[in-house]
Every structure is written in C-alpha cells, then in structure tokens.
Amino acid sequence: MWSREFGLTSSFASKLALGFQKVSAKEKNLEDIRNIVRKILNRKDPAAFPYGTSGVDISDLLLYIFASKGIGKILYNCMNCGASTISAIKVTTLFTISVKKYPSIQEHIDAIARKTKKCSQCSQNVSKTHKYNSPPRLRVISFSQQSQDIKISKSITLESESGPTTLNIHGAIYYGGAHFVSRIISPTDEVWYHDGIETKRQYFREGHLIDFSEESLIYRGNKVCVSVIYAV
C-alpha cells in the first residue's frame, strides 16, 4: 500500500519506497537507499542538492519528494447560477504553512477549506470541494521560519467530496544547529526519538503520545519542528 502511495506523490518517493522494500528484504541498508535517492536528486537539481558539506533546505527536499505529482483537484460550484470550475492549483501530499495565522495545524487546514472566491459568472460566493484521486492516506506539513511555533495537532481531518478523513501524527522532523533530528510515533502511539549523531542506529523511547501536549511537540530540546507527517 505504501509503495503505491509513495508512487502517487513523486518518482523520488517511489524510488524511496522500492528501497524500503529492499531494506525489509535485507538486500540493502537505509544508508544505501538514502544515497540512491540523493544521487537522483543531485542530478535533477545540483544547486539545491549538492554533495559535500553544503546544507540542503528541507523545504526543497519536501517539495521534490511530496509535491511533484497532483493527488486531486479543487472543485468550485456556484449554488446561484450553477457554474462549475476546477482550480488551477495542484493538490499535493505536501501542505506548506508559510505564515502563522492560526494557533494549530488543523486550524490552518480548516481555514484553507473555508476560503471562498467569487463566481466568474454571477459574482456570488462559490462552494469549494476537494476531490482526491484516491482516499488520502498521507499528508506532509511543512513550516517556514515564519510559522515554526504553530501547535502540532496530534491528528488532522481533511474534508473531501467523499466525506472527512482523519490522519494521525506518525512523525516530526526538528532542526537547529545545522542538524536534523526526528520523532517517530508508532501505531500504538509510542513516541521514539532519533538523532543520527547522538543515538546512531538506536531509537530512544520518550513516552506515549498522551504524555505530550500540542505545544510541547513544537520543540525537541533546542530544535524546532520544521515538518510533520500524518498518515492512516
């Protein structure tokens, strides 16, 4: 299921998913798969994904991995005159919050869903509906420097033509001091911490998700959350 889901987001994510299968089969290790995808990204955009000690902007990485392909469309229907249009904006797995306007991730998603526009035919407000190519199973949230203190919702609900879909938090990436670390939330809501420098290949159990508030998930030590992963 996840290989198919990753394939829907980008060719880079598809390569990653195939690599994970090889890791599960003990044919490769995670570093091998990282290097394969890194090489492909470097060929695609050597300025954004250089080799050596130069840093990479995680927003660029998320954009290439999770926003290359559209996973649905936005429909606008006028209840007054019956006009119907499709938005030119591509719906992708990645949802970027550029500026903090609301306290939490869910409130930003709700605000986008409620945002209206005028009908080009009669100038009345039109209804907005998200139509996904398949039921959404994955959503990646990205923050900018202007939105990094938003409360991390433990789950998000997406409204679509077929009804609401709830996705739970399963990962968070933190940045600070030129170094990334992560939290991984298991299907049983156990929270695990990983730092490639500090913990190497080991994961450190921090507790249960119920032990964390949405505010406390914003930070991990002196590092701030820059991306959150939600999935079924």
pLDDT in tens, 109-138: 999 888 888 998 999 999 889 999 999 999
Contact 62, 93 (CB under 8 A): no
Percentage above 90 pLDDT, the chain: 87
Total residues belonging to the chain: 232
The per-residue pLDDT for range 70-111, each reduced to its tens digit, is 999 999 999 899 999 999 888 999 999 999 999 999 999 999
**Mean of pLDDT over the chain:** 94
pLDDT of residue 14: 96
pLDDT of residue 54: 86
The CATH 3.90.70.10 portion of the chain extends over: 70-231
**CATH level 2 (architecture), domain 70-231:** Alpha-Beta Complex (3.90)
* 36-45 tens-digit pLDDT: 999 999 999 9
pLDDT in tens, 154-195: 999 999 888 999 999 999 999 999 999 999 999 999 999 999
Specify the long-range contacts of residues 77-84, CB closer than 8 Å, at least 24 apart: 77/126, 77/127, 77/129, 78/119, 78/121, 78/122, 78/124, 78/126, 78/127, 79/124, 79/126, 79/127, 80/119, 80/122, 80/124, 81/119, 81/121, 81/122, 81/124, 83/119, 83/120, 83/121, 83/122, 83/126
204, pLDDT greater than 90:
yes
Q: What is the pLDDT of residue 89?
A: 86
